[in-house]
Amino acid sequence: MKIFTAEQIYKADKFTIAKQQIPSDALMERAATQLFEWMHSRLQGAEVTIQLFCGIGNNGGDGIALARLLKEAGYNIKVHVVNYSEKRSKDFLLNLERLKDRKIWPEFLNDDCVMPEIAPNDIVVDAIFGIGLNRAPSEWVGKLILHINASQAFVLAVDIPSGLPGNRIPWNTDHVIRASYVLSFQVPKLVFFLPETGVYQNQWELLDIGLDAEFMHTEETEYEFLVKPDVLPIYRPRLKFSHKGTYGHALIVGGSYGKIGAVQMAGNACLTVGSGLVTAYVPECGYHSLQTALPEAMVLTDEEDEYISKIEVPFHPDAIGIGMGLGTHEKSVKAFGEFLKNNDAPMVIDADGLNILAKHPEFVKHVPKQSVLTPHPKELERLVGEWKDDFDKLEKAKAFSKENQCILVIKGAHSLILSDGKGYVNSTGNPGMATAGSGDVLTGMITGLMAQGYLPLQAAVFGVYLHGLAGDIGASKMSYDALKATGIIENIGNAYMELFKRPEAEVVPES
Ligand SMILES: NC(=O)C1=CN([C@@H]2O[C@H](COP(=O)(O)OP(=O)(O)OC[C@H]3O[C@@H](n4cnc5c(N)ncnc54)[C@H](O)[C@@H]3O)[C@@H](O)[C@H]2O)[C@@H](O)CC1
Ligand SMILES: Nc1ncnc2c1ncn2[C@@H]1O[C@H](COP(=O)(O)OP(=O)(O)O)[C@@H](O)[C@H]1O
Ligand SMILES: [K+]
């Protein structure tokens, strides 16, 4: 699913209006109708007070049109026009007239206004600013936002929480609506997914306002939000006459004394995602535990007992996952550097592999092109340097990925995959996955997919999505709190099955 910028949404509006030959306020009416239906189906005529705060642009216009529909259905509403500018939009004015025609008189709020009372049981509709916000809200509007946030009322934001710009972090973090729920039109906004800007909403949902499908399909975007229809076509079905060699031989390199479990989990995930063969390369001390815990894997050991000192394997792997639990012993660092020079198979580099790269930038040029690097934010910072904010982070990470022709997976609540200037935002996963070893599982999964012949970008996209889905299924069975990395592995199979499950309505009973 594409993530459009505000400019692209305005373009889609214009295109739709021209192609469908509709007046511009028809889109606003569609938006308001969708908002109304969402609320009405939940409230079913409840006697709650709904306070609508409407700006003077089109976001405000949506709010004003919604107020009319709510009133017509008998709801108890209070409408406030947040009069932050003289430049009222045409469709806002049109809807304001329609409201007045129905004898509904909004209260106009200005810079000297008394803050309206909001009871904790009220519902607030936030339609102050939408995607048109392009500078800091003035002080009094900021105060109004603070007042709404302090009210404890349920806050339903129209399109985007007011005060949150679409393409940068907020000017003042206090002057942004904290939305209980966001109903966003047609496409998700990038700010919903970044750690610094995603905190302003609890949950969000898209409302379809019928923007032109052809435009949405053909317009190129810088970011995509990965949902099932995006990842499903990447899947490579297993063939009837295939054998284990068909699905590749993966090599997992890592581990040190006390950190052999990282390799075990990566190896297990690699096998579970479908790699034909898996060999683990570990220090001698890992031999018995690995052979016991993961009998399906083959194990090669280093001559050193507690750390890796030389990486030599007697076969050519189809894909390599390297770095988990590796440590940064000077001999391991040297072995890692040598291995990079002598190897050309595609790689997934994680954990200490990334820390070593950060300390030895001279190694980076030896990383095979199209390798997948999977840093969490701290590891990314070591690689690309400090950033000012999340948007700066994205630019720095993009530049790194372009310069080194690698694929970056920035792990987090919405892991973000960057490749060749384009970003893919993951939709699966949950806070239960913030647990030791879940990154090792991801590395194993991406390596296992690459070994089977998925191209590195496909493996990263499919692997990140499937990893999150396995975590979601795991959490649904045992809670966020109790989910462990091994619980993610145990649900990789269920995640595959879930991918191919059709919604119940689509399942036709057999006759
Ligand atoms: N395709 C869509 O998604 C549709 C979007 N609509 C709504 O239209 C909204 C966008 O409307 P607008 O472009 O009118 O923009 P907004 O309603 O977000 O903002 C109003 C205007 O205020 C000005 N402004 C920006 N920052 C300001 C500040 N800090 N202080 C004072 N004034 C400021 C800008 O010039 C802006 O145009 C969307 O968020 C959505 O709610 C709907 O009406 C219909 C279709
Ligand atoms: N709050 C969260 N929501 C969704 N996914 C998460 C969350 N926290 C962590 N994850 C996922 O869990 C994994 C954690 O990886 P990492 O930090 O490397 O863990 P470890 O080093 O313990 O293996 C990543 O894939 C990340 O996207
Ligand atoms: K809003």
Q: Give the whole-angstrom CA distance, residue 298 versus residue 291.
A: 8
- The interface predicted TM-score (ipTM) is 0.92
Helix 58-72 and helix 24-43, axial crossing angle in degrees, nearest 10? 50
Residue 134 marked as a ligand binder: yes
DSSP 210: -
Structure tokens at 496: 């595959």
State the pLDDT at residue 221. 97
Q: Whose atoms come closest to the Cα of 127: which ligand?
A: 3
Range(s) within the chain of domains with CATH label 3.40.50.10260: 2-220
Q: Give the whole-angstrom CA distance, residue 262 versus residue 257.
A: 11
pLDDT tens readout for residues 158-193: 999 999 999 999 999 999 999 999 999 999 999 999
Cα 207 to averaged position of ligand 2 atoms, centre (Å): 30
| Secondary structure (DSSP) of 3-34 | E--HHHHHHHHHHHHHHHT--HHHHHHHHHHH
Structure tokens at 208: 């379809």
Q: Whose atoms come closest to the Cα of 261: which ligand?
A: 2
Q: What are phi and psi of 139, to 5 degrees?
A: -55, -45
CATH number 3.40.50.880 is the correct assignment for the domain at 2-220: no
Q: What are phi and psi of 360, to 5 degrees?
A: -125, 75
pLDDT tens readout for residues 230-269: 999 999 999 989 888 889 999 999 999 999 999 999 999 9
**Closest residue to atom 33 of ligand 1, CA basis:** 133
Residue 130 marked as a ligand binder: yes
CATH number of 231-499, picked from 2.40.30.170, 3.30.420.40, 3.40.1190.20, 3.40.190.170: 3.40.1190.20
| Secondary structure (DSSP) of 311-352 | ---SS--SEEEE-TT----HHHHHHHHHHHHH--S-EEE-TH
| Percent of the chain clearing pLDDT 70 (strictly above) | 98
Task: Evaluate whether 209 touches 186 at the Cβ level (below 8 Å).
Answer: yes
Identify which of 378, 411, 441, 461 to mutate to test ligand 2's pocket (most ligand atoms within 8 A of the CB). 411
Structure tokens at 440: 């090792």
- Sequence-ordered list of residues with C-beta below 8 angstroms from that of 44, at least 6 positions apart, any chain: none
Residue 162 marked as a ligand binder: yes
Strand 416-419 and strand 407-410: the pairing is antiparallel
Residues with CB under 6 A from ligand 2: 376, 411-413, 415, 429-431, 433-434, 436-440, 442, 467
- Sequence-ordered list of residues with C-beta below 8 angstroms from that of 325, at least 6 positions apart, any chain: 254, 255, 256, 259, 260, 261, 262, 263, 351, 352, 440
Does residue 131 line the site of ligand 1, with CB under 6 A? yes
Identify which of 433, 445, 480, 488 to mutate to test ligand 2's pocket (most ligand atoms within 8 A of the CB). 433
**CA 104 centroid distance within chain:** 41
Task: Evaluate whether 275 touches 448 at the Cβ level (below 8 Å).
Answer: yes
Residue 245 marked as a ligand binder: no
DSSP 174: G
Cα 456 to averaged position of ligand 3 atoms, centre (Å): 39
Output b/e per residue, 334-363; b: 16+ Cβ within 10 A.
Answer: ebbbebbeebebbbbbbbbbbbbbbeeeeb
Range(s) within the chain of domains with CATH label 3.40.1190.20: 231-499
| Secondary structure (DSSP) of 238-303 | PPTT--GGGG-EEEEE---TT--HHHHHHHHHHHHTT-SEEEEEE-GGGHHHHHHH-TTSEEEE-S
By CB atoms closer than 10 A (0-12, 13-18, 19+), residue 261 is buried
Cα 250 to averaged position of ligand 3 atoms, centre (Å): 49
Q: Whose atoms come closest to the Cα of 132: which ligand?
A: 1
Atom of ligand 2 nearest to the CA of 467: 25
Q: How many CB atoms sit inside 10 A of residue 308's CB?
A: 29
Atom of ligand 2 nearest to the CA of 468: 5
Identify which of 129, 140, 187, 208 to mutate to test ligand 1's pocket (most ligand atoms within 8 A of the CB). 129
Does residue 116 line the site of ligand 1, with CB under 6 A? no
**Closest residue to atom 40 of ligand 1, CA basis:** 59
Cα 385 to averaged position of ligand 2 atoms, centre (Å): 21
pLDDT tens readout for residues 348-402: 999 999 999 999 999 999 999 999 999 999 999 999 999 999 999 999 999 999 9
Nearest to 335 by CA among 257, 249, 253, 443: 253
Which parts of the chain have pLDDT scores under 70? Answer: 504-511
Nearest to 362 by CA among 346, 343, 340, 344: 340
State the pLDDT at residue 41. 98
Identify which of 8, 34, 58 to mutate to test ligand 1's pocket (most ligand atoms within 8 A of the CB). 58
Does residue 166 line the site of ligand 1, with CB under 6 A? no
- Sequence-ordered list of residues with C-beta below 8 angstroms from that of 82, at least 6 positions apart, any chain: 53, 54, 55, 56, 60, 109, 128, 141, 144
